[in-house]
Amino acid sequence: MNYTSLEEIFSAFNQMKVLILGDVMIDSYVWGKVERISPEAPVPIIQVKRKEKRLGGAANVAKNIQSLGATPILCSVIGNDLEGDYFIDLLNHRNINGEAIIRSDHRITTVKERFLSGSQHILRVDQEELFKLKQKEEELLIEKISSLINSVQVVIFEDYDKGVLNRKIIETTIQLARKHQVPTIVDPKKKNFISYFGASLFKPNLKEIREGMKIDFDEEDMDSLKKVVSKLRQKLDLQYVLVTLSEKGVLISGKDSDIHIPAHIRSVSDVSGAGDTVVSIAGLCLGLNLPPKFTAALSNLGGGLVCEHLGVVSVNKEMLLKEAYDNSLFTN
């Protein structure tokens, strides 16, 4: 379909279903005030004022997809524990489809707990297990993916190296997606970096490229970066590579062109979760077969918007639409 306006594109998001596969977690926040140092050890004492738990990891991608109007279907493995119960409650509260969430007696639910005084991040405590899935859990996950793949328009891999994704699950999912002509979008991490052969769009940052490719390059030299990205695209037979460049914006590389889109000047409060927003927007755009330049530009805008907020938040669709207009992103 040829779209004639930004409104048509944003309206089309509402008709899409997205399968999100990867590591989920709870982002826990403790806000307080620091006025003195502990007499027991040279550490600050936080007087707690407020606590909040949010959906994190691949579940934050689901929140972004939902905020953009599409329907997320979350596929992952969590613990059969109290934190897992709380995670399910958070999903239900947001009306996010958790039919493909598997409960495990062998894992704990990942929780990242952050302690903040005002806007200052004081401490983070992680509760997690990083070992690979049991065979039965792997089989159940592939079974869920197989049953859902024909009902979605996009598959997003959200990899945090927590053990849910492995080579077999990745390869099986991409094969199924290609069979049903469903595009696959990858937000990679180091462990499975070279396992995503044949994906549609691959979204690493500079650190992930360096670690995943085991290659050093000059980040300030755009030509050097383009050569590395081209090598990555060919090695994994990728349609596109979308590299997030932090304050330098994004680079999208395809067979026919490399397009660098600079970042927009913003008051940055927190970069946490920006990558989740970028991959969510890119996934929906690819599902609608929109041009790569528009895909990269809209994703870049969305990633910048969430950086203006403290903590991990999902993108605001109305604000994104306004910014897209203000920056003349769409030309028919």
Catalytic residue list: 276
- Integer Cα distance of 284 and 154 in angstroms: 7
Question: CA triplet 128, 142, 195: central angle to 5 degrees?
Answer: 70
With residue 54 as reference, give the H or E element that holds it: strand 44-57
How many C-beta atoms surround the C-beta of residue 153 within 10 A? 20
Residue 27 phi/psi, 5° resolution? -95, 115
Is 16 in contact with 284 (CB distance < 8 Å)? yes
Angstrom CA distances, 189 to 204, 273, 290, 317, stand at 8, 15, 26, 27
- Bridge partners, 205 (sequence order): 244
Is 270 in contact with 278 (CB distance < 8 Å)? no
From the centroid of its chain, how far is CA 74? 12
How many C-beta atoms surround the C-beta of residue 252 within 10 A? 26
- Integer Cα distance of 60 and 40 in angstroms: 37
- Integer Cα distance of 29 and 40 in angstroms: 24
Residue 40 phi/psi, 5° resolution? -85, -25
Is 293 in contact with 267 (CB distance < 8 Å)? no
- Integer Cα distance of 114 and 91 in angstroms: 20
Residue 289 phi/psi, 5° resolution? 60, 40
